[in-house]
Amino acid sequence: MVQGDYPKRFMIKNICCIGAGYVGGPTMSVIADRCPHLNINVVDLNKKRIEAWNSKDLNKLPIFEPGLDEVVGNTRGKNLFFSTNVGESIKKADMVFISVNTPTKSRGIGSGEASDLSWVESCARDVAKYAEGHTIVIEKSTLPVKTAATIKSILNSVKNSFKDTEKSFAVLSNPEFLAEGTAISDLKNPDRVLIGGEDHDAIEALANIYKSWIVDEKIIRTNLWSSELSKLAANAFLAQRVSSINSLSAFCEETGANIYEVSKAIGLDNRIGDKFLKAGPGFGGSCFKKDILNLVYLSRSLGLDEVADYWESVLQINNWQQKRIYKKIVSTLFGNISNKQIGILGFAFKSNTNDFRESPAISICRDLLEERAILKIHDPKVEAKDIEKALENEFSDIDNCNNKKSRDQGGYFVVEKEIEKTFYNSHAVVILTEWEEYKIIDWENFTKNMIAPSWIFDTRNVIDESDFKSNNCNIWKIGNGIKN
């Protein structure tokens, strides 16, 4: 089916995406690349973010994703534009994607569990105010079930208050299923595209865009509520697998089993598969924790306490795993890390992204700093200012620390640009992100500069012990109960 087969009101020429973050920017860039006939405007109130998207240096985009720079370079200024002109972009749009942040509420009813939908509500009001004619409004942010009903209510109420009979809206749910680090490939070749809605013509108008590069068999049509729940459920299931394998990693350490051998054996069962069965310091990122908390809150609101308890346990195991690693480091270093230098390799929650939101490194570093350790942190993509922000400047940076007493007592961190410096005079080095750079470290030379008895804590299975050559250093690998 081609665009001409649709009613005139569903002829899509101009798209507006509100939100230039981790979802909106990459998603619209790929749509622009695959649909050169569409004109796409990505808008955001954050001027610095928009300036970064418009940077002449494609290495300075606000988001690091492999392949993103190439896609943006191919489309920006042609049919892809980034601006702060929210109202004007909505006015011209036939289709508006809402792709704004939906953080967990920090206060009020549902604090610590429910999603804060203030930005979504604000977007709905802007669309109702500025849109002209018929507009398809698409939920792209991860949202609680029944949020579409709220958006519909706002659109219709604001429209009626303006007494504008020329305006009409169709609301769809089109959740993203992107993994940071592989977002561009996920967008170009997705497992599925999910579109939920009640208006058949609007659903097909959106499906027709995706069919520019995706076969129709991968495009799933559902009702609104199934689409909204599917996103939460997918993230909850993935997080549950991570917590499950991490719980077994502790079991392996106590029994002499090896988690990498166990996970391989489990993963070969085609009923289970091998995805998300790598033991580590726990899951992070912007979605897993937030979506599970949302699921917990919704379950309790519906009186499903047992369901809420089940999903809450996934988060409890994740937090426990991070605490367990921190305690293991302290106990191995004779129960005292005060004023001891510890190198931290990796701050992003996973490799191939500069996203550090909910990264296990944040919790582990905080606990080590509370023990008055001196941390030397390295990450190839997370900037020093972001690391400082994540740790909330509670602990002094050595370069800015003028108080000799606080230096002597420890409890501060520095950000290193060179990997080798994290080893110098360190009692231990902890690998928290599986960056490729950490897999090719010259262990024999780097560990010579550590203080004996020195330790490498590998929480990501980065080190191939058969290639590890060092007479100066001991290794602890998560889930490895086999004594060497």
287 flagged as catalytic: yes
Which residue in the list 113, 176, 358, 371 is annotated as catalytic? 176
The model carries a pTM of 0.87
The yes-or-no answer on residue 473 being catalytic is: no
Instruction: Provide the residue type at 196 as one letter.
Output: G
Q: Which one is catalytic: 17, 287, 365, 473? A: 287
Question: What's the CA gap between 27 and 252, in Å, rounded?
Answer: 40
Output the pLDDT for position 145: 75
* pLDDT given at position 160: 65
Residue ranges in the chain modelled with pLDDT below 70? 1-10, 159-165, 393-409, 482-484
Per-residue pLDDT at 2: 44
**pLDDT at residue 403 in the model:** 38
**pLDDT the model gives residue 400:** 45
| Active-site residue flag, 35 | no
| Residue of 140, 167, 231, 376 marked active site | 231
